[in-house]
Amino acid sequence: LTIDEVDFPEPYTITLGDPDPVFAENEYEISREVNGTVVTIKTVVLTDTNDDGIPDYLDPDTAIED
């Protein structure tokens, strides 16, 4: 994957014991840090330029430029 194929949204911040957030389509957790009772969850969203539900790097209908 290249930097053009991913987006790094703002981290989620929740309190320890709260339910995890519901991630968007093609959004995945990449790290989780617990500091006392505060949990910070960082995610990455795989780009889907034609909104067909398939990330660009897997989509045969999307040309990826070098």
Structural domain boundaries enclosing 31: 3-58
Among 20-24, 26-30, 55-59, 60-64, which is the least confidently predicted range? 60-64
Span 6-22, pLDDT tens digits: 888 999 999 999 999 99
pLDDT of residue 40: 98
For residue 65, pLDDT over 70 is answered with no
> How many independent structural domains does the chain possess?
1
pLDDT of residue 64: 64
> If we measure between CA atoms, which residue out of 17, 18, 23, 25 comes closest to residue 46?
25
- Mean pLDDT score, 19-45: 96
Give domain status of residue 64, yes or no. no
Listing DSSP states for 29-43 in one string gives EEEEEEETTEEEEEE
> Rounded to 5 degrees, what are φ and ψ at 57?
-70, -15
Give domain status of residue 63, yes or no. no
For residue 66, pLDDT over 60 is answered with no
